[in-house]
Amino acid sequence: MMEIDNPGGTPTKDIFEPVTYSTSWDNLRGAKIVAALDFVVLLMRIPHDFVAIKNLELIFSPISTGASMNFLMRTYYGLVGEAFNVHTEVQNPRNIGATVAGQNLAHDISDLVNVAPLVAEHLLVIQVQHNATVLAANTHLLGVRLRYS
């Protein structure tokens, strides 16, 4: 965990979790989404000192340059003792905007955890799936970054 300077306010904390599971892997860059039915799963535990979310970002590196890139995205979250999907959000498709091949990018998905507020100790699952109906949905998904106070 790294604290980021925030003069005059509560320090922002920052954690990064790498991909947990992928249907397709690249030896150099890790998880990739390149074909119909490819998907990536990220699992993280919201830290015990979590108070409020600043942003939740997918960190990725596109394989191709494109005017837009679309994915199917789902989040599931709940506390230990609750169903894993007590809170569920789905966005199909999710446009992440223009991309440049090989450039590391971040895309904020904070809006996919707002059906109920995230709280400390939530177990969060994020699934990102190839959208077979849209071209240029080829990328390496590196992980998820949570910034919080």
Which pLDDT tens digit goes with each residue over 38-79?
889 999 999 999 999 999 999 999 888 887 788 889 999 999
Specify the pTM: 0.86
Q: pLDDT category, 133, cuts 50, 70, 90? A: low
Determine the Cα–Cα distance for residues 69 and 105; give it in Å rounded to an integer. 12
Phi, psi of 113 (to 5 degrees): -135, 40
CA within 13 Å, CB half, 141: 34
Architecture of domain 2-148: Sandwich (2.60)
Domain spans of the chain, in order of start? 2-148
